[in-house]
Every structure is written in C-alpha cells, then in structure tokens.
Amino acid sequence: MPLKFMRSAIMLVVAMLSQLANAFVDPPTLSPTNPTEGQTVSVNIRVGQCDVLPVGPEQITQTGNSIRILLNSIHISYSEFCNIIVGVRTFPLGVYPPGSYTVQVDRTYELPLPPQTIVETLGILPFTVAGAPAPAVLPTNGLIGLLALFATLLLIAAPVLSRRQRDRNAADV
C-alpha cells in the first residue's frame, strides 16, 4: 500500500512540475492570395513561444518559376526558456510578371547538443499571378458633347443672372 501511494505521489509531483512546450510554427500563407501583375507577393508565418523568425536576413532565390526563401531562425529546445511573444511575421518576396509560380519556404536553426544545423521545409505554396486589369474605359464626348454641356450650363445660369441684374437695377433706383 505505501508503495502505490509513493508511486502516485511521485507521478503527481512530476506532472505538476512538467510544462507543455508551446513551440510552434504555423504553415506559411501568401498574401495577396490571388496576386495580379504589379502587386508585391509576401509570405506570412505565425510563430510563437519557442521559435523566433528571422534572425538575420532572409535569402530569396529564384530559378525559373520556382522561388525559395530561407529564413534564419532560433528554436529553443528547453521549455523553461520559451517566453517569446506569439506573432505573425511577413516577408516580401517581390513583384512577378503573369504566370504560375511555386514558393518553397524553409527555415534553418542551430541545435546546441549535439551541435548541428537543421534545415526544415515549412511549406511549398503554388500561386498564379494574373495580368494587370485592363484600364477602365471612360466615355468621352467630342465637340458636340462640350457644346451641349455649355448650352445646359447657360440655360441654368441665365435666369439666375437676369434675376440678379433686375435686383441691382431695382436697388439703384
């Protein structure tokens, strides 16, 4: 009986002292989701607690329609030191001509024991850049439209101007 009690007490103490590791890096997303020619395409990543993005400049490489972004990051392995604020980081990739592309988002970090560099792929995102929207065609009026506008303004303004003239003449008398 004391052995069962002791085992239960040890398990309870260990459970109370353990902490959940809140390390996370959510899958990356693109913004805008449907880019058009001339818009800057960006990668958004939500990270928190035990992970920080980036530490140092990101490396963006492009081969044809394949784009790769490598983010230097920090990953904390010990939950006692996980106190990093949760947030969304945005990394602009650039402006692309119309076509279909893929973005591979990778991150790299160092592990202290044993010393090693980890490179992990966070996601591969396809996207298509549409051509720029056609400029809006506004109706234009030629000489006839300009004359019609002038005549309309004259018809509206003539009674007002004649009334003012009558009021001035009446005031002078």
Verify that 89 and 154 share a domain, yes or no: no
pLDDT values of the chain reduced to their tens digit, one per residue, 173 residues: 566 666 665 655 554 444 444 557 889 999 999 999 989 999 999 988 888 887 778 899 999 999 999 998 888 877 777 877 888 889 999 999 999 999 999 999 888 778 889 899 999 999 999 987 767 766 667 778 778 888 888 888 888 888 888 888 777 76
State the residue range of the domain holding 74. 15-129
Verify that 76 and 143 share a domain, yes or no: no
170: Cα within 13 Å, side-chain hemisphere: 6
Verify that 83 and 153 share a domain, yes or no: no
Verify that 78 and 148 share a domain, yes or no: no
Verify that 125 and 151 share a domain, yes or no: no
Euclidean distance between CA atoms 165 and 7, whole angstroms: 108
134 domain residue, yes or no:
no
Q: How many CB atoms lie within 10 A of CB 121?
A: 10
Verify that 77 and 125 share a domain, yes or no: yes
Verify that 86 and 36 share a domain, yes or no: yes
The model's pTM is 0.63
